[in-house]
Amino acid sequence: MDIIAHFKGARNVMSVPSGLVLFHEGDPAKDMYVLLQGSAQVSVGGEVVEVAGPGALLGEMALVGVAVRSATVITRSDCRFIPVDRLTFDLLVRESPEFARYVMTVMADRLRRMNERLREAIGELAVHGRRPR
């Protein structure tokens, strides 16, 4: 799905300058964002886990069921976003199964990347645990 083309006619485009926090980990959540232009850094626990570019969905977990933000997002350049509230999200999911699959694919890809990072961290711990003290 070309998510940028899907939102091409949207009127509620938000311009956000570089270096601004879009949302903080632990904040209450009400919107997700479609990144149309620019790049943004996604951090969990202070660790950068992703650099998002055009077409990225940010904060989508907030609309799927999580009550607070699970990450912090900071713009790395001047960005343009489309905010999507829960009502609009629900409408998009009902009217466009392709949109729903896209959101699920984004979340599944992020989960796979986090699983890989976890495997690597567990492997490093195992290596360090075998060192003589």
pLDDT tens digits for range 69-110: 999 999 999 999 999 999 999 999 999 999 999 999 999 998
Give the right CATH number for 3-129 from 3.30.70.1560, 3.10.20.30, 3.30.420.270, 2.60.120.10. 2.60.120.10
Which residues fall within 8 angstroms of residue 40, CB to CB, at 6 or more apart? 22, 51, 52, 56, 58, 73, 74, 75, 76, 79
Which pLDDT belongs to residue 127? 81
DSSP class of residue 71 equals S
For residue 100, which amino acid is it? A
| For range 13-24, the mean pLDDT | 97
- Global pTM reads 0.86
Q: Exposed (0-12), middle (13-18) or buried (19+): which is 63, by Cβ within 10 Å?
A: buried
